Amino acid sequence: MLHKQKRLKVKYLNSKGKMIKKYSRYLPYFLIAVMLIWHSVLYAQQMRYPRPEFETQYTYPEYQYNYQRAPYWEYLDVAVLIAALSITSWLVIKKRSRQGIMWVSVFSLAYFGFYRQGCICAVGSIQNVSLALFNSDYSIPLSALLFFLIPLIFALFSGRVFCAGVCPLGAIQELTGFKKVKVNPKLEAVLGAIPYVYLGLAVLYSAVGSQFIICRYDPFVGIFRLGGPYTIIIFGALLLITGIYINRPYCRYLCPYGVLQGFFSRFSWKHLTITPAECRNCRLCEPSCPYGVILPSDNLKNTEVTEIGRKMKLIYGALILMMGLSLAYFFYNTAPLLARMDKRVSLAREIRLEKEKGIKAVSEAAQAFNESARTEEELFEEEVAVINRFRAGAPWVGLFLGLSLGIRFYRRIIRHPRTEYEPDRGRCVSCGKCFEYCPVKIKTE
């Protein structure tokens, strides 16, 4: 192999006197090279072919970029949200108008659902908040934060009015549920536990920066957008068809935001009441609620209600704590399994399987990894880091699930007998279907 410039240097040995001539030949190239170095940054891209120098009057075409609606419109959404919540609160608590709530539902479905296409949504905002709380490098869009907070603030004042008619997911089910099939209370209780798990996992997956599972499995977004992954559209359609008979299945058996709404609604300042005045225990309202959340007054005949002693309360407390801690420990152990849903972990697993067992890694991610400059060490380190994040987060999910289930039982153990018919504040979505069943009317001036 020969290297030209070297030859120049050794020319003095087999000198034929051409050296100076040779050098001067390169001078213009050298100057050009110096000039080009100046531009070298410009061409650092893979410019295999030079930019054409057009001789005709050719001008570069405009980029075909187009733009979305102006960004500040998101604040209109917040304003609409506040207005809709205020109107619904008034309709639920003061006006007691089922008709009105229905019209708000129609509006919300049209605006938040079909016009805004199901995004921005309070249900999904849980994930933005949890990601922002546990990750210093993520900053949350202000509108998402407001969409998370405002409905909860309203829940603290007037119950789940957001669910009643503002949430587009609730609205679409509210408008399509016109038959009432009662669900067995035991089944209802079992299915009703799913949202807690869903909430726990959604917070976990977003807190560790893995993925937004609520958005991934949002059943109605495909319907709002009139398109999308067909598995989700079919799931949404099935849910809606079910909802005709078993009303609001998503709200009752899936919605994670409903769990939070329930917490706040339990302690709300005002809440929907079945009767505008005093309950006569006529039992007329009993079949009116499709969700089975009307708590009947107790049959107190032949029963002696006994107070529970301090000692028993301590035992129950210990049991609840045990439930929480057991589940926390269970989830701690499950963390690596939960982490497998993470794409970084599943990629690392795929690469490791390829290395150890010779199973060819074929996924797009594996191909992209092989093309990238990342090393396997980096990938495996990241995998361990992700699993450790899951390990740190998962016990809290378990603790939350155990404690909330325990407290649910405990509340029933210590509860006082009811003398009136009242809605279960945690589960009632303030739809107002019970209004017209109550025979008690107050005279309005």
Partner 1 sequence: MKFSENQIRLFRNLSVVSGIFTMVIAFTMIMSLIQLKTSDPLEDPALKSIIEQFDKDPENADIAENVRSLDLIARKAYFAARWQLETGSYLLLAGAILFVVFQWLSTGQEKSARGKLPPKPQITEEKERSKKYLIVFSSVFFILAVISSFALRPLLPAPGEAKKGIRSEETGKASAVLPVPDGINYPNFRGEGSRGIAGGEGYPTDWDGNTGKNIKWKVPVPKFGKSSPVIWGDKLFLTGAEGSVFEVYCYDKNTGDLLWTGTGSDFPGASKDVPETDEESGMAIQTPAVNKDAVCAIFANGNLVAYDHNGNLLWAKNLGMPEHTYGYTSSLLIYNDILLVQYDSELRLSVIGFDVKSGKQLWETSRRGKPVNSSPALGMFNGIPQVIINGSPEVTAFDVMTGKELWTINGVVNDVAVSPAVNNNFVYVSANYEALLAIKPDKSGATVGWSDNTYTPDVSSPAATDEFLFISDGTGAIACYKADSKEKLWENYFNSSFYASPIVAGGMVYFLDRDGVMHVVKASATYELVSESSIGEDTDSTPAFSEKRIYIRGEKNLYCISAD
Partner 2 sequence: MEKRENNIKSRREFFRKAGRITLAVPLLSIPALLAKKAYSEVYVWQIDPYKCTACGLCKTSCVLTPSAVKCTNAYEMCGYCDFCPGFLRQGARAYDTGAENQLCPVGAIKRKFVEEPYFEYTIDEELCDACGKCVQACSDFGNGSLHLQIMHGLCVNCNQCRIARVCPSDAIKRVPADVPYMSKDLNKSITRKGAAQTKKTES
Q: Where in 115-154 is the site for partner 2 (CB under 8 A)?
A: 117, 119-121, 124-125, 127-129, 132-133, 138-145, 148-149, 152-153
- 31-50 residues in contact with partner 1 (CB under 8 A) are 32-33, 36-37, 39-40, 43-44, 46-50
Q: Residue 141 CB, nearest distance to partner 1 (Å)? A: 28
Stretch of residues binding partner 1 (CB under 8 A), selected from 73-81, 115-123, 138-146, 292-300: 292-300
* Three-state DSSP state, 43: coil
Of the candidate residues 326, 362, 419, 439, the single one contacting partner 1 (CB under 8 A): 326
- 169-198 residues in contact with partner 1 (CB under 8 A) are 175-176, 178-180
Among partner 1, partner 2, none, the one that 353 touches (CB under a kind-dependent 5 to 8 A) is none
* Three-state DSSP state, 127: helix
Helix (H) or strand (E) holding 155: helix 142-158
The single residue listed with the structure tokens 């108008």 is 97
User: CA-CA distance, 271 to 156, in Å (whole number)?
Assistant: 9
- 229-268 residues in contact with partner 1 (CB under 8 A) are 230, 233-234, 237, 244
User: CA-CA distance, 86 to 102, in Å (whole number)?
Assistant: 15
Q: Residue 29 CB, nearest distance to partner 1 (Å)? A: 5
- 19-78 residues in contact with partner 2 (CB under 8 A) are 41-42, 44-52, 54-56, 58, 60-61, 63-68, 71-72, 74
Judge contact between 238 and 227, C-beta under 8 A: no
User: CA-CA distance, 75 to 144, in Å (whole number)?
Assistant: 10
Helix (H) or strand (E) holding 423: strand 422-423
- 70-99 residues in contact with partner 1 (CB under 8 A) are none
Give the residue from 117, 125, 336, 150 showing the smallest Cα distance to 212.
125
- 331-350 residues in contact with partner 1 (CB under 8 A) are 333-337
- Told to check if 115 binds partner 1 by CB under 8 A, we report no
Copy the structure tokens of residue 367. Answer: 């191909």
- 413-442 residues in contact with partner 1 (CB under 8 A) are 413, 415, 417, 437
Judge contact between 428 and 295, C-beta under 8 A: no
